[in-house]
Structures are given as C-alpha cells and as structure tokens.
Structure 1
C-alpha cells in the first residue's frame, strides 16, 4: 500500500510539472505568433536583419572561394543566403539580377557547410565575390546579421545606405 501511495504522488507531481511546462510552451507560441503577425502586417520593423542604414561598415576580413580577399569598401552590395532558408532561395535570383546591374563590388555570403551551399555559390559566382561561412561566422557577426536573407548596400563613403531582407529595401538601380 505505501508503494501505491508513493506512485500516485509521483505521477501527480509529474503531471503538474508537465502541465506547467505545456502552459509555458503555449505562451511562447502565442508570443511568436503575435510577433510574426506584426512583422507580416508591417506594424513592426523587420528591416534590421543586419546593420541599419547610416551605420559605418566595420572592417571585413574574409577570403573568397577563389582565394582572394573579400571586398571591404564601398560602393558595395552584400547578401547573405542559406540553403536551409526558403526565402533565401526565392530571393536569390532577384539578388543576382540586382547585383548584375549594381555599380560597385558585390559580396555574396553562402551560409552553411561547403557541401550544402554549392548551388548558392554557383549562382552568385558570376556576379559576386563569394564567401562561405557557418551560421554566426565572422562576417555575420561584423555585419550584425540577425536573419536571412539579409542584404545591404554600402556607399563609397563606407556607410550603409540601406539594408533589409528583400530587394525592395535596397535603392532602385537606374539602368540604361
């Protein structure tokens, strides 16, 4: 009988702990849903995926897949893309077109393991100096990348002109 009472008490405690944890998860999910809804409705800024406009470009030290130094002065177009990010894969062709018309250097950063980013590297290579780095790599840290895709333009003075997660955040290019 004492074993039965101990077992019932133990099960009761475990059920209470499970209930508390479940309520915590539900609260977190509601908060995330609220934040996503605000972001999609445009009531909250989602442009700060990397250094915001007006920020000076920090020193960038990286080696491209071709073995050269990555560009670190403006005018510069920068884009971060990951093969595990659906939005990255959707926006990559537009970024390549934008980069092709951009009057300056282009730095494309493929985020992930080298064996996983081959398609991104191949698409960027024709228009950009390409660097492969892991999540939270040195370039992402220097540019304060918080999400992907992340894109920015930097002026000749080394100051970020615009940044965001889609091409619409970047300045329009005049093509002739």
Structure 2
C-alpha cells in the first residue's frame, strides 16, 4: 500500500512540474508572438533583409545552374529562396508571377544543397536565370542577405529601387 501511495505522489509531482513548464512555454510563445507582430508592423526591423533601396548593385560573381555568369545589369529582379523557409515556399509563386510580368532580367537564387533545392530551381527556371548557393554564399554576401525570402528590383542605372521580404516592397511593375 505504501508503494502505491508513493507512486501516486510521484506521478502527482510530475504532473505539477509538467504543468508549470507548459505554462512557462506558453508565456514565452506569447512574448515571441508579440515581438514578431511588432516587428512586422513596424517594418523597420525586417525591411533590411538585403541591401536597401537607393543602394548601388555591387559586383556579382557567381554562375547560374546553366554555367553562365549571373546578370549584373538592370533592370534586374533578384530573389533568394530556401526550401527550409516556410515564408519562402509561400512567397515563391507570387515571385514567379511578378517575374513573368517583369520587363528585365530575373535572377532566382536557391539557397541550400543542390539536392534540397531542386523544387525551387524547377519553379524558377521558366522565368529566371537560377543560381544555387549555400547560405552566406557569394551572392548573398554581396547583396547582404540577412533573412529569407529576400527580393530586390534594380533599375537600368544599377540602383536598387525596392527590396524586402515581401512583394509589396517591390515597385509596381508599371513604374519599373
């Protein structure tokens, strides 16, 4: 009988500890949700996923999956996407639609190992010149990509006229 009481007390104590830990996790998730919402509303903290508007396009040294040098002259649309990024997967179809209507060259950068980015490459290839590189590769370094997805439009003079993590950060197609 004493063994049964001890087991019940132990199980009860474990339940209380689990409840306290669960409440702590819920509290932290609420704090993080509030911080993420605040960052998305302000726009300041997440707008600099890559070089900002007004910056001159740096020299880009990389090759596409077809072996050609990546485009360096505008008008140019650039997008960075990773298969491990849920927002990238969600925004890729919109980027492809924007690229179809874009009057200029398009560079799509799939970030990750070649075998992991095959789907992204296949979706970008009909509308873009595609490069594959690891995180912090030469293109991401040159364009100072700090998060993904990251997109930018470069005008004919080589100046970035819009950049961000969402298509709304890019100029309307009629003004490019």
TM-score higher than 0.5: yes
1: distance between equivalents of 2:89 and 2:46?
A: 19
Q: Residue 20 of structure 1 aligns with which residue?
A: none
Once the two structures are TM-superposed, the CA of residue 40 in structure 1 deviates from its matched residue by 2.5
1: distance between equivalents of 2:144 and 2:94?
A: 23
Q: Residue 80 of structure 1 aligns with which residue?
A: 80
Q: Residue 128 of structure 2 aligns with which residue?
A: 128
> What is the total number of aligned residue pairs between the two structures?
151
1: distance between equivalents of 2:173 and 2:68?
A: 27
1: distance between equivalents of 2:141 and 2:80?
A: 12
Q: Residue 5 of structure 2 aligns with which residue?
A: none
Once the two structures are TM-superposed, the CA of residue 41 in structure 1 deviates from its matched residue by 2.5
2: distance between equivalents of 1:161 and 1:151?
A: 11
Once the two structures are TM-superposed, the CA of residue 42 in structure 1 deviates from its matched residue by 2.6
2: distance between equivalents of 1:123 and 1:136?
A: 22
Listed one character per residue, the Cα deviations across residues 122-158 of structure 1 (whole Å, up to 9, x for unaligned) are: 0000010000000000100000000000000001000
Q: TM-score with structure 2 length normalisation?
A: 0.79
Q: Residue 146 of structure 2 aligns with which residue?
A: 146
Q: TM-score with structure 1 length normalisation?
A: 0.79
2: distance between equivalents of 1:29 and 1:52?
A: 31
DSSP-derived class of the 1:80 partner: strand
Gaps of 5+ in 2: 1-27
DSSP-derived class of the 1:115 partner: coil
1: distance between equivalents of 2:43 and 2:114?
A: 37
Instruction: Say if 1:109 and 1:131, in contact at 8 Å, map to a contact too.
Output: yes
Q: Residue 71 of structure 1 aligns with which residue?
A: 71
Gaps of 5+ in 1: 1-27
Listed one character per residue, the Cα deviations across residues 62-88 of structure 1 (whole Å, up to 9, x for unaligned) are: 110011111011110000000000000
DSSP-derived class of the 1:58 partner: coil
Q: Please tell me the root mean square deviation across aligned C-alpha atoms, in Å.
A: 2.3
